[in-house]
Amino acid sequence: MLVLGGGFAGVESAIQLRKYGYNVSLVSNRDFLFVYPISIWVPTQKIKFEDVQIPLKTLSRKHGFTLIVDEVKQIDQQNNRVILGRETVDYDFLFIALGMDKVYTKGLEFTHSICGKPAEALVIQEKLQKLVEKGHGKIAIGFGGNPNDPTATGVRGGPAFELLFNISHFLKGKGVRQNFELKFFAPMKEPGKKMGDKPYKKLDIFFKRYKVTPFVGKKIKEFTPNSVVFEDDSHIESDLTIFISGGDGHRVIKESSLPVNPAGFVSINELCRVEGQKNIYAIGDVAAIEGPTWASKQGHIAEVMASVSAYNVHQELSDKGKRKSYWEKLHIICVMDSGDGAAFISRTNHKETIIPLPILGHWLKKAWGFYYKQSKLKRIPRIPGM
Ligand SMILES: Cc1cc2nc3c(=O)[nH]c(=O)nc-3n(C[C@H](O)[C@H](O)[C@H](O)COP(=O)(O)OP(=O)(O)OC[C@H]3O[C@@H](n4cnc5c(N)ncnc54)[C@H](O)[C@@H]3O)c2cc1C
C-alpha cells in the first residue's frame, strides 16, 4: 500500500492500514506532520514551532510503516506507479493525501499565510514582534474563497478569526493594543456563514470585543507591500497582511489524468475511491468533497476519510461485502480560539451549535493538541471517534 502525503489524512490512513496488517510506505516532502490547528499560536509565541510538529520518523517507527521523504512528481496510474524526485515506487493500492494548493491573487507574495508552508508561521511571528518593538502598526487579516469549490473556503475563515483575536489579545498583553489597527477583510458578503447562522451572528460581538474593523463583500483586486486593494480601487493600509487564500487543486493532481472537479480536487465516490479507478483512493483536502452546501475541508474529515478508505480496501481484500461512506460523518466541528477563551462550534444537517467557553475553551484546544500528538505517538490511548 502506498500513501502520498504525511498530513492528517496520510498519517491516519497509514496507521489504519498498519492496524489491518498491510505493508505500508508513506511519501512526504516534509519529514514531520504539521498540526495546523495549533499553529495559530506560533505568531503570538504561545507555542514553539517545534511543538506543532510530529516527526514522521517517530510515527513510522511506532506504527511500523516505511517512510520515504521525497517529492511526488507524477502519478502514473496506467502503470500503477508514482514518480518521486529520487525514485519510482510501484503500488497495489494508492492513497492520495497531498493536501491542496492556493488560489492566486495578484500580489500574493506581499502577504503571509498561516495555512501554507509551515515556516510562514515563524515569518508572521517575526514580523509581528518587529511591529510590537516599533510600538504601533496596522495589521490586516483576511481570507478568500474558490468559486469553483466552496468546500475549499469553508471553515478556513476560522484560522483567520483565531489569528485576529489572538493577536489582539497578544498586543493587549504587551500594553500596545491601543496603538494598533486590526482589520478583517473577505470578499464574500457573509464570511464565516458556513459555520452556521448562529456562529455567524456572534462574529460581530467578537469583532467589537477585540476591536477589529471588518471590510467585507468586496473582491480583492491585488495586494501591495503595504495595502489590500479592492475591486472598486478602495484600499486598506497594512504593515502586515495575513491572507488565507482559497484552496485550489494540488499541482500534481492537475497535471495528472485523474478525474477532478472544476477546482482541480480529485473526484471520489462516497467510499473515497477515485471515480473510474479500482485501486486509488483520495482523502483529505486533496479530494472533492460532496455534501451539504456548508461542507468543508477539515482535519477531522481528513481523518474520517482516511479510516473509511482503509476500511473499505480491507473489506474488499477480505472478500467482505460491507462498506463505509464518509458522507455519513460530514459535519463541522471546531474550537475557535481567541487566546483568552474560545467558542465551540458544530454544525450537522439538523443542528447548529455555538457554545462560548471563556478561558476554559482556550485550554480545551490546548488539551486537544496534546491529545492529538500523544495519541498519534501511542503514548496515550485513543478515544474512539477522535
Ligand atoms: C491554521 C489552520 C487551522 C486549522 N484548524 C482546524 C481545526 O481547528 N479543526 C479542523 O478540523 N481542521 C482545521 N484545519 C484544517 C486541517 O488542518 C486540514 O483540513 C488538514 O490539515 C488536511 O489534512 P491533509 O492530510 O489532507 O493535508 P495536509 O495537512 O496539507 O497534508 C498534506 C501532506 O502532503 C505533503 N505533500 C504535499 N505535496 C507534496 C508533494 N508534491 N510530494 C510529497 N509530499 C507532498 C505535505 O508535506 C503534507 O505532509 C486548520 C487548517 C489550518 C491551516
Residue recorded with cell 481567541: 338
Residue recorded with cell 506543532: 52
Q: In this structure, are residues 49 and 227 in contact, taking their beta carbons and an 8 Å threshold?
A: no
Residue 187's closest CA among 159, 147, 227? 147
Question: Residue 156 has what pLDDT?
Answer: 61
| End-of-domain residue from the set 211, 244, 277 | 244
Ligand 1 pocket test: which of 156, 285, 308 has the largest number of ligand atoms within 8 Å of its C-beta?
A: 285
Q: Are residues 186 and 128 in the same domain?
A: yes
69 SS3 class = strand
Ligand 1 pocket test: which of 12, 15, 25, 28 has the largest number of ligand atoms within 8 Å of its C-beta?
A: 28
Sign of CA dihedral 20, 26, 31, 37: negative
Hey, what's the torsion of the CAs at 247, 251, 252, 255, to 10 degrees? Answer: 120
Cα(120) to ligand 1 centroid in Å equals 14
Residues within a 6 A CB radius of ligand 1: 5-10, 27-30, 36-37, 39-40, 71-72, 97-99, 114-115, 158-159, 252, 284-286, 297-300, 302, 334
Measured between alpha carbons, how far is 96 from 69 in angstroms, rounded to an integer? 15
Cα(117) to ligand 1 centroid in Å equals 10
| End-of-domain residue from the set 244, 270, 289 | 244
Q: Are residues 117 and 218 in the same domain?
A: yes
Q: Are residues 289 and 181 in the same domain?
A: no
Q: Which amino acid makes up residue 336?
A: M
Cα(285) to ligand 1 centroid in Å equals 7
Q: Are residues 285 and 222 in the same domain?
A: no
Residue 344 located in a structural domain: no
Q: Are residues 123 and 203 in the same domain?
A: yes
Q: Are residues 197 and 325 in the same domain?
A: no
Q: Are residues 230 and 111 in the same domain?
A: yes
Residue 317 located in a structural domain: yes
Residue 130 located in a structural domain: yes
User: DSSP string spanning 102-170?
Assistant: E---TTGGG-B-SSSSTTHHHHHHHHHHHHHHHT-EEEEEEE---TT-GGGTGGGHHHHHHHHHHHHHH
Q: Are residues 215 and 230 in the same domain?
A: yes
269 SS3 class = coil
Residue 340 located in a structural domain: no
Residue 357 located in a structural domain: no
Report the Cα–Cα distance between both ends of the chain, in Å, rounded: 24
Cα(287) to ligand 1 centroid in Å equals 12
Residue 91 located in a structural domain: yes
| End-of-domain residue from the set 244, 276, 306 | 244
Q: Residue 237's domain is classified under what CATH number?
A: 3.50.50.60
Query: How many domains does the chain divide into?
Result: 2
Q: Which three cell numbers stand for residue 182?
A: 486590526
- Residue whose CA is at the smallest distance from ligand 1 atom 50: 37
Instruction: Using alpha carbons, list the distances in angstroms from residue 85 to 56, 57, 70, 338.
Output: 19, 19, 6, 41
Q: Please report which helix (H) or strand (E) contains residue 347, including its range.
A: strand 341-347
Q: Are residues 116 and 212 in the same domain?
A: yes
| Closest approach atom of ligand 1 to CA 33 | 49
Ligand 1 pocket test: which of 30, 298, 331, 366 has the largest number of ligand atoms within 8 Å of its C-beta?
A: 298
- Domain range enclosing 288: 2-100+249-331+369-376
Residue 325 located in a structural domain: yes
Residue 319 located in a structural domain: yes
381 SS3 class = coil
Residue-by-residue pLDDT tens, the chain, 386 positions: 999 999 999 999 999 999 999 999 999 999 999 999 999 999 999 999 999 999 999 999 999 999 999 999 999 999 999 999 999 999 999 999 999 999 999 999 999 999 989 999 999 999 999 999 999 999 999 999 888 887 766 456 889 999 999 999 999 999 999 999 999 999 988 887 777 777 778 888 889 999 999 999 999 999 999 999 999 999 999 999 999 999 999 999 999 999 999 999 999 999 999 999 999 999 999 999 988 878 888 899 999 999 999 999 999 999 999 999 999 888 888 888 988 888 888 888 778 888 888 888 899 999 999 999 999 999 998 887 77
Measured between alpha carbons, how far is 176 from 145 in angstroms, rounded to an integer? 32
Instruction: Using alpha carbons, list the distances in angstroms from residue 176 to 133, 137, 151, 236, 298.
Output: 10, 10, 37, 21, 34
Neighbours of 204 (CB within 10 A): 11
| Closest approach atom of ligand 1 to CA 98 | 34
Measured between alpha carbons, how far is 167 from 181 in angstroms, rounded to an integer? 11
The residues that bridge with 268 in the sheet, in sequence order, are 274
Q: Are residues 270 and 231 in the same domain?
A: no
Q: Are residues 272 and 317 in the same domain?
A: yes
Q: Are residues 236 and 284 in the same domain?
A: no
Ligand 1 pocket test: which of 96, 98, 334 has the largest number of ligand atoms within 8 Å of its C-beta?
A: 98
